[in-house]
Amino acid sequence: MARSLLLLGSNLGNRELNLQSSINNIQQQETCKIISISSVYETEPWGIPSNNNYLNQAAVIETSLNPFNLLTLLQEIEMESGRTRSVKWEDRIIDIDILLYNSFVLDSLGLKIPHPELPNRRFALLPACEIAPEWEHPLYHQSIKSLLEVCCDETKVWLKS
């Protein structure tokens, strides 16, 4: 079984329900087991202007799927939830990213692991640090906690109350 760190995000519709439904869908898969889930964080939009804040949540899973099959599964869950893809960083019902997969490094056209923007995104590092602070980034050889401490992203991220 491999261990993977995922980030879920939603800024359309019932954001909390979108996150919970996606977590439930992942948990229902025979090929995935959720090990831990972070608190929910509210985040200012990142990438393009939007009037809708995001809710973000990290999850650590164990999976028997290879990275490509895991990506396919997560994209199927997104599509079943109503996710469309037309503009990069557009508002979305749900987004599920693979941040890390064991200590695996992959740079292919459709999938990059570790997620290339992880060290630059406070909204990903903060929930990830809550549940996996010592997980080492395989390229930077720094823990998630260390990456968060030096992250220059000034996007506001706060614990959802």
Residue 115 CA to residue 107 CA, distance in Å, equals 10
Beta-carbon contacts of 33 under 8 Å, excluding residues fewer than 6 positions away, are 1, 27, 61, 62, 63
Marked catalytic residue, from 15, 92, 121, 122: 92
Q: Of 3, 15, 85, 97, which residue is the catalytic one?
A: 97
Question: Is 95 annotated in the active site?
Answer: yes
The strand ranges marked E within the chain are 2-10, 32-37, 41-43, 54-63, 95-101, 106-107, 112-113, 157-159
Beta bridge partners of residue 9, listed in sequence order: 56, 95
DSSP 3-state of 57: strand
Q: Given 95, 121, 122, 153, which residue is catalytic?
A: 95
Is 97 designated active site?
A: yes
Catalytically active residues, by annotation: 83, 92, 95, 97
